[in-house]
Amino acid sequence: MPFIELETNLPASRIPAGLEKRLCAAAADILDKPEDRVSVTIRPGMTLMIQGSTEPCAHLLVSSIGVVGTAEQNRGHSSRFFELLTKELSLDQDRIIIRFFPLEPWQIGKKGTVMTFL
């Protein structure tokens, strides 16, 4: 159950229409998870600074069970997410940071319990 959170200082008007759907589909493909299990949040208009600059930038947070726990996994994921984000947001790679968070099934609540018991 991946959680994809895109935070950017770009205004909402600069977020391409349908980005949430394309980001969801891409995350499902990249992480090899069913698309209906991916949760996407996009937060435009944030106050962000990268490398001492408030020029347009973005943070992508990727949390999931079992697929973001190693450097080898995340190197491949990172490359593919960067390809999508640079294209969709018209940002250079040095204006994007991706953070990967491995999750355990007991850390995700669903249907009145946690994923461990589903």
**pLDDT, tens only, 71-114:** 999 999 999 999 999 999 999 999 999 999 999 999 999 999 99
Q: How many domains does the chain have?
A: 1
Distance of alpha carbon 73 from alpha carbon 28, whole angstroms: 14
Range of the domain at 58: 3-117
CATH code of the domain in which 37 resides? 3.30.429.10
Question: Which amino acids are annotated catalytic?
Answer: 2
pTM for the model stands at: 0.94
H helix runs in 1-118, sequence order:
19-31, 71-89
Cα–Cα distance list, 18 to 21, 22, 61 (Å): 5, 7, 19
